[in-house]
Amino acid sequence: MATLEIKNLHARVAEDDGEQILRGVDLEVKSGEIHALMGPNGSGKSTTSKIIAGHPAYEVTEGEILLHLEDDDFGDLDIPDDVRTWNLLELEPNERAALGIFLGFQYPAEIEGVTMTNFLRTALNAKIDEREELLFGEDEEAEEEEAGYDTSPMEGNVDDGEVGVAEFQKLLKEKMELLDMDEKFMQRYLNAGFSGGEKKQNEVLQAAILEPSIAVLDEIDSGLDIDRLQDVSKGINALRDEQGTGILQITHYQRILEYVEPDHVHIMLDGKVVKSGDASLASDLEDKGYDWVREEVYEAA
């Protein structure tokens, strides 16, 4: 049961005189829980998600993002007591991912020339390596690995790493079946030429493969038709139910929350989480918009 704890997070755009965007965000997401983070455009939702993952475009000026790990978080791995709490702000993005943070992008990158299969197996092996290095200080073959794979970018690494080609193919097939995805995706280039819906489904597939403790999904519902929305929602629920992933679902609309029922709903305004509640809060927003929250906050202030 991992816990992502965001405390008093302040951040700005990382350039000279960069705009201050986050002004004290507090949030706690445990694995196995589903949280919805809602708010109008420009309130800081996407920025929060990118900062959790370590996007270099933002600079944290105050506050902390902590990840607390527990015994059962990495299957058979025995996590040493002294490395159970991590300050994510001190870690590189790939290290955060290795410890179980996953960011689902609103606009996933399209990468020509790198197949889905190759990319995901490389990512999975990199995750396993990095995690062991972080937890136990082991650096086996790390230098060699960093030199990149030394074979075809179309076929992937011959060096098997932890998860070999055959084993990975099997895993990928299973996960794709679970998400009703066509096997043809396996050999396609990463997101290249995918429709909007296919890209979002692919984000969920990647989370299913990498098995994060906490998945932050940035507007994964945008641009989806009803069928695709249901497919993606089914995938998100499976992440929680079968892998125990904690979900931080960033969304504008209640629509996806009909299929992915949140345990907690948070409302962000002007760079802060100003109100939290249960699923009914999302329905209130749908009915009444954000103005009443804004009024409530200003009155209280």
20-30, strands of its sheet edge to edge: 20-30, 3-13, 58-68, 85-87
Q: Is 143 in the site for another protein (CB under 8 A)?
A: no
Q: Which of 10, 18, 77, 119 binds another protein (CB under 8 A)?
A: 119
Q: Which of 25, 69, 124, 247 binds another protein (CB under 8 A)?
A: 124
In the complex with another protein, the residue whose CB is nearer, 82 or 112, is 112
Stretch that binds another protein, among 148-156, 161-169, 244-252, 277-285 (CB under 8 A): 148-156
226: exposed, middle or buried (Cβ count in 10 Å: 0-12, 13-18, 19+): exposed
The dihedral over CA atoms of 123, 125, 131, 136, expressed in degrees to the nearest 10, equals -160
Q: Is 196 in the site for another protein (CB under 8 A)?
A: no
Helix, strand and coil percent figures for the chain, each rounded to 5: 40, 25, 35
**For the chain, how many helices (H) and strands (E)?**
9, 10
- CB–CB of 88/42 below 8 Å? no
In the complex with another protein, the residue whose CB is nearer, 192 or 297, is 192
3-state secondary structure of 138: coil
Within residues 56-75, the interface with another protein by CB under 8 A covers 56
User: What character string, x for contact with another protein (CB under 8 A) and - otherwise, covers 77-106?
Assistant: ---------------xxx-xxx---xx-x-
Kindly provide the b/e burial profile for residues 46-57, where b requires at least 16 CB atoms within 10 angstroms of the residue's own CB.
bbbbbbbbbeee
Q: Is 126 in the site for another protein (CB under 8 A)?
A: yes
State the minimum distance, in angstroms, from the CB of residue 189 to another protein: 8
Q: Is 137 in the site for another protein (CB under 8 A)?
A: no
Q: Can you tell me the distance from the alpha carbon of 211 to that of 44, in angstroms, rounded to the nearest whole number?
A: 26
Total of chain residues touching another protein, rule CB under 8 A: 41
Q: Is 153 in the site for another protein (CB under 8 A)?
A: yes
State the minimum distance, in angstroms, from the CB of residue 255 to another protein: 26
Within residues 224-283, the interface with another protein by CB under 8 A covers none
In the complex with another protein, the residue whose CB is nearer, 147 or 226, is 147
- CB–CB of 66/7 below 8 Å? yes
Binding site for another protein (CB under 8 A): 53-56, 92-94, 96-98, 102-103, 105, 108-109, 111-114, 118-120, 122-124, 126-127, 130, 145-154, 189, 206, 210
